[in-house]
Structure 1
Amino acid sequence: MINAIRRKRVHFLAGCLLSAAVVPATQSEEYPQAPLPPLLPWHGASEQLIVNTGDWVTPAEASDFHTTPDYRQTRAFIERLAAASADIKTTDIGTSAGGRHVLLVTLTESGSDAQANGKPTLLVQAGIHSGEIDGKDASLMLLRDYVNGKRELHQLVQHANLLIVPILNVDGHGRKGPYTRMNQRGPDNAGWRSNGNNLNINRDYTKLDTPELRAVMDVINEYHPSLYIDVHVTDGEDYQYDITYGYTASFASDSPAIADWLESNLRSNLDSALTAAGHIPGPLVFGVNPQEFSDGITHWTALPRFSNGLGDLRHTPTVLVENHSLKPYRQRVLGTYVFIEAALKAVGDEGDAIKKAIASDQRRHPKTQVLAWETSKSPDLKVFAKQPFKGMAYKKVKNPITGTEQVVWLGKAKDYPALPVFADNVKDVEVRVPKAYYLPKKETLVLARLKDHGIEVTAPSRPRATLTRLSADSHTFADKPFEGHFRVKARFSEEQVQVPLADYVEIRTDQPLGSLAVALLDPRGPDSFFQWGFFNQMFQRTEYSEPYALVPLAEEMLKRDPALKKEFEKRLQDKAFAGDPRARLDFFYQRSPYYDRAYLQYPVLIQN
């Protein structure tokens, strides 16, 4: 989830994850579960999807949706499905840090090659946070129904391919138990948020540190999905919607044709199907004030570290699904089934339109690009003017634990007409799009990550060039690590330099993934390789001066250069400088030919 409570205690044993959540020694399986708000009653047509008898009852159905199958049981059930239908195939696309295989399931007509059969493809990913595993059990039910001959599914597969990653975070999936998801209704054995290296895979879409996400990127680059669905479970406020989802809005999109199709075509199809099945679809919900929901919600614009943010940059239609954690697991799984089936129908029906939208966005070459957005201070009151937000009633009660008033959700439906919506539509970081970047060949990790993304990297088209070099005038490191990195921000100055290019590779921006290249290589972007710390070596110096050598050199420099002497005398008027012997020596060292000219220089050069 986007704003989830992070667990802090992570135990590893010989590189393998514990099979249960970590709890104090005094606790047991009988330790009380965290009480959750009261529920609204729910019944819907999607309940007819449940199978209770026969050979093909899924493990989740067999437990009445109290539990989800473990890694071994999941794979075994999928292998049974594949053995029962030649249309279903399985492939291991990668291996986790813990040595478990990440599975890809393909469903195509007659088992044809989804890369070559010319049909549009839907990619569904479940369990990037393995405690949020609704997509896995919904997929098992849907594949089961295909094997059992469900006519509607067979008709859909005639027009579109279905790819499923049932468990992406396979290591976190193994760390299961009743004490992993305090704010969520089921399953009772939900998995863990982070992977075997305690990394949140859902923050890794740009840096690609995790083998699991590099495997997904291979799938995207090989199959070119027409639609990519990333299934999560949300948390936070209570509301009536059970299936919420979103994508990058047109006002912030680097793929405006795709954004238009998602909003104008896909959303209406998905909402209609979910509503007909008895579910309540809604937008992504992120409250602006956890103590007063009526203050409004944020229309979030995702950074490219998230699936929908990256999908927008790489022109892959991407939808982030956030099922409501306070709804029962049974209800969430059924809604996810309906969502996947409706999405598969939309991809088959709209394949040509999606293809045109993707091609149109790939041909775009804007002069500027926004790398970060801020939230507007002025709310939009029109979003829920005609149809009010379907919320829940709450009250605030003084609580002896916190000593303050706390929100208590009452389990009663309450509509919020004209609920304020604060959109992330204010440009925060906007840069000019250059013609190309030049990356030193020695930056092998960055080069590997660019290739993992599928960005085209070539040899320079000329031996020398006048390029822009950025130097950090000031910089600030984070005070603690985030996702395994000490992030850094800087202010830069520019200079033009003549550079021989034999030791560089060229990354042009007039390519289909040009917008993604800008987001990764412009250091002012919040998800750039620079800010993730891939170039931190530029902040270290390895050669230094000694006073016994530098003092006589400085005296000689003053004799030879009257302008330098004048500049030094002017600096001496600053009392802090004049009273700092080290600063006075550095003044001369930095102006001598001995000084490291690569210090604070961003290694990537820019062709404007």
Structure 2
Amino acid sequence: MRLLTTLTLLFSVFSFSQNLKTPFENGNGNQSTTYEDCIAYYETLAQKFNTIQVDEMGLTDSGEPLRMVTFSQNTNFDYYQNKAVILINNGIHPGEPDGIDATMMLFRDLATAKIKVPKNTMIVTIPIYNIGGSLNRNSNSRANQNGPEAYGFRGNARNYDLNRDFIKSDSKNSRSFQEIFHLINPDMFIDNHVSNGADYQYTFTCIATQHQRLGGKLGEFYKNEMHPTIMKDLKTKKIESIPYVNIHGDKPDNGFAQFMDSPRYATGYTTLFNTLGSVPETHMLKPYKDRVAVTYEYMVSTINYVEANVQKIKKMKADNLNSYKIGMKYPLQWEIDSSKVSKIEFKGYKGAYKPSDVSGKDRLYYDKKQPFTKNIPYYNDYKATKEVIIPSYYVVPKSQWEILDLLKLNAIQLRLINSDTIINVESYKIDSYETSKYPYEGHYGHYNTKVSKLTEQVAFKKGDYIIKTQQKGVKYLLETLEPEAVDSYFNWNFFDAILQQKEYFSAYVFEDLAKEVLDKNPKLKSELEAKKQADKAFAENGAAQLDWVYKNSVYYEKAHLQYPVYRIK
């Protein structure tokens, strides 16, 4: 009887694995699942298999909840059982649905043991991250892409590109993602995409998160061992691959640089918490069926590598925190290090120019009848152009509730100041910045920000917060609270109120007061005379001189350009 029951169960699982095809598999190879069918499919898997669990994890801008699906071989869904955790994100750009369809098949095949089942690795997926974009289904918005027949739109329900929202967190999607991320604490993150840009022979390209930003031995391990081994495994499956071809509007023949995934991007964000990350970028002109297949195989190869190296990865992640100690330098800005260049084999198509049928001007085209293989330069290293010394603490007044909420959401440990107190701190004054002339994801962001630093005593109130840097989120703190960092809260406009002067003066009133100020401060008067001697335009401008005196007097408001986050050495 027991043998019969076992055989019946095995037959049931076998029958289910044979019959439960995904919408993609039931189609013609050029059709992608809808949002509704995708979620229904995962719900069915969870009903059939106790190794799969579906959770609702917070709302998105569409009003729909963000779902998280987990596969755990031992049916234990505790994310802290000394297993590795891989997080797969799909549909951040729903017009690039390869990963959506590939991951549905992956979870089915894990549940039915059609592929090797990891015992020491949990697999978690967000089936479709940009739900609003997925519901905005069409067949035309990806004019440069070969299938599928219908797909979602890049912008979410509020028209945000969610792959630019991981620091500013304007969307509910981002905030729900961060809740998931810190709940499961992934060791590896995969964000499935489809490329834009040049034409070439590869179906599969990949962004391996920039190793120097990942940091230390962990970054070197990912660059030199883990990622190459996964790519080598793909090659045994007859899948050729190359780093993401970071070229737009030109031929890649002269080489290209690794994509720098700053914290606004998914893998740039996950790197801040020492999570290894990759962005598969299948080639937009290859058949959809082939793109789904290589995405699937990449995920399988990654799972197998992580499963074989669980303890090594976890130890290196933990050790990497030692690279960010108090008093060390931390890079805030980077540029390509052109002195360090390697050669990579590139399988391309001959590119040339011919007159456009539209404009008559020269246009680029690729001749697929003339494939080539040659070595081209690849720039894989960056160098720091701006660094900061890691402090012991940051101090944030309770008035800055907007960024405090984001810090809490990102599992940053905060400690309340229990009574009014005066603390010796380093403070920043915003000396200069530039602002974009064009809107970018709901912001007119700042860049080229420069600050000056002053050590002073500042009075803080009971209920303000002190934040130690020596915690898991040290890189997140540095990238968001240091105003000169590329994706700092300052550059994302969180502190724009300090850029506007609130109090002014009436010139005819302040004229007499300005004379008193100068008479009582001979040093300031000498500085004014020296400035007039050095600057002819200033010397001819009475209003400018009066304003200079005002801004160098006790009457000038301290809050103007005063950055309201402080450092303790």
- Distance in structure 2 (CA, Å) of the matches to 1:244 and 1:114: 33
Question: 1:592 aligned to 528, 542, 553, which one?
Answer: 553
Name 2:190's counterpart in structure 1.
Answer: 229
- Distance in structure 2 (CA, Å) of the matches to 1:571 and 1:54: 83
For the Cα contact (< 8 Å) 2:445–2:492, is it kept in 1? yes
For the Cα contact (< 8 Å) 1:294–1:416, is it kept in 2? no
Q: Does 1:431 align with 2:431?
A: no
Question: 1:150 aligned to 106, 113, 134, which one?
Answer: 113
Q: Does 1:561 align with 2:518?
A: no
Please give the residue correspondences for 1:1-16 in structure 2 after superposition, counting only pairs within 5 Å. Answer: none
**Distance apart, 1:256 and its partner CA:** 2.6
> Which range moves more in the overlay, 523-532 or 502-511?
502-511
Please give the residue correspondences for 1:271-350 in structure 2 after superposition, counting only pairs within 5 Å. Answer: 271-287=231-247, 290-350=249-309
**Distance apart, 1:270 and its partner CA:** 2.4
Question: Unaligned 5+ residue runs, structure 1?
Answer: 1-50
Amino acid at match of 2:237: A
For the Cα contact (< 8 Å) 2:216–2:323, is it kept in 1? no
- Distance in structure 2 (CA, Å) of the matches to 1:550 and 1:514: 47
- Distance in structure 1 (CA, Å) of the matches to 2:213 and 2:302: 21
- Distance in structure 2 (CA, Å) of the matches to 1:592 and 1:268: 61
Name 1:58's counterpart in structure 2.
Answer: 22
Instruction: Say what the alpha-carbon RMSD is for the aligned residues.
Output: 2.4
Residues 548 and 393 of structure 1: is their aligned pair in 2 closer, same or farther, counting only changes over 3 Å? closer
- Distance in structure 1 (CA, Å) of the matches to 2:249 and 2:438: 26
Residues 569 and 372 of structure 1: is their aligned pair in 2 closer, same or farther, counting only changes over 3 Å? closer
**Distance apart, 1:550 and its partner CA:** 1.2
Q: Does 1:496 align with 2:460?
A: no
Residues 406 and 560 of structure 1: is their aligned pair in 2 closer, same or farther, counting only changes over 3 Å? same
Please give the residue correspondences for 1:201-600 in structure 2 after superposition, counting only pairs within 5 Å. Answer: 201-250=162-211, 252-287=212-247, 290-366=249-325, 367-378=328-339, 380=341, 382-384=342-344, 388-412=345-369, 414-460=371-417, 463-489=421-447, 490-502=449-461, 504-573=464-533, 574-600=535-561
For the Cα contact (< 8 Å) 2:60–2:176, is it kept in 1? no
- SS state of the match for residue 545, structure 1? coil
Residues 493 and 441 of structure 1: is their aligned pair in 2 closer, same or farther, counting only changes over 3 Å? same
Amino acid at match of 1:537: A
Amino acid at match of 2:186: P
Q: Does 1:189 align with 2:150?
A: yes
Residues 275 and 561 of structure 1: is their aligned pair in 2 closer, same or farther, counting only changes over 3 Å? closer
**Distance apart, 1:297 and its partner CA:** 1.4
Query: CA-to-partner distance for each residue in 1:213-245, whole Å, 9 max, x for gaps?
Result: 222221221111121111111111111221211
Residues 571 and 162 of structure 1: is their aligned pair in 2 closer, same or farther, counting only changes over 3 Å? closer
> Which range moves more in the overlay, 369-378 or 351-360?
369-378
Amino acid at match of 1:316: T
Please give the residue correspondences for 1:33-44 in structure 2 after superposition, counting only pairs within 5 Å. Answer: none
Residues 446 and 273 of structure 1: is their aligned pair in 2 closer, same or farther, counting only changes over 3 Å? same
Query: CA-to-partner distance for each residue in 1:354-373, whole Å, 9 max, x for gaps?
Result: 11111111232251111222
Name 1:92's counterpart in structure 2.
Answer: 56
Query: CA-to-partner distance for each residue in 1:320-350, whole Å, 9 max, x for gaps?
Result: 2111111111011111111112222222211
Query: CA-to-partner distance for each residue in 1:455-475, whole Å, 9 max, x for gaps?
Result: 222235994322111112223
**Distance apart, 1:268 and its partner CA:** 4.1
- Distance in structure 1 (CA, Å) of the matches to 2:73 and 2:396: 44
**Distance apart, 1:249 and its partner CA:** 4.1
Residues 90 and 389 of structure 1: is their aligned pair in 2 closer, same or farther, counting only changes over 3 Å? same
For the Cα contact (< 8 Å) 2:209–2:276, is it kept in 1? no
Please give the residue correspondences for 1:66-77 in structure 2 after superposition, counting only pairs within 5 Å. Answer: 66-77=30-41
- Distance in structure 2 (CA, Å) of the matches to 1:339 and 1:538: 47
- Distance in structure 2 (CA, Å) of the matches to 1:598 and 1:53: 65
Aligned length in residues: 549
Amino acid at match of 1:207: K
For the Cα contact (< 8 Å) 1:160–1:348, is it kept in 2? yes
For the Cα contact (< 8 Å) 2:87–2:189, is it kept in 1? yes
- SS state of the match for residue 547, structure 2? helix
- Distance in structure 2 (CA, Å) of the matches to 1:376 and 1:580: 45
Query: CA-to-partner distance for each residue in 1:556-600, whole Å, 9 max, x for gaps?
Result: 334433344444444444443344342233133223332211111
Question: Unaligned 5+ residue runs, structure 2?
Answer: 1-14
For the Cα contact (< 8 Å) 1:291–1:406, is it kept in 2? no
Residues 114 and 335 of structure 1: is their aligned pair in 2 closer, same or farther, counting only changes over 3 Å? farther
- Distance in structure 1 (CA, Å) of the matches to 2:236 and 2:23: 26
Query: CA-to-partner distance for each residue in 1:435-477, whole Å, 9 max, x for gaps?
Result: 2221111111111111222222223599432211111222322
Deviation >6 Å, runs of 4+: none
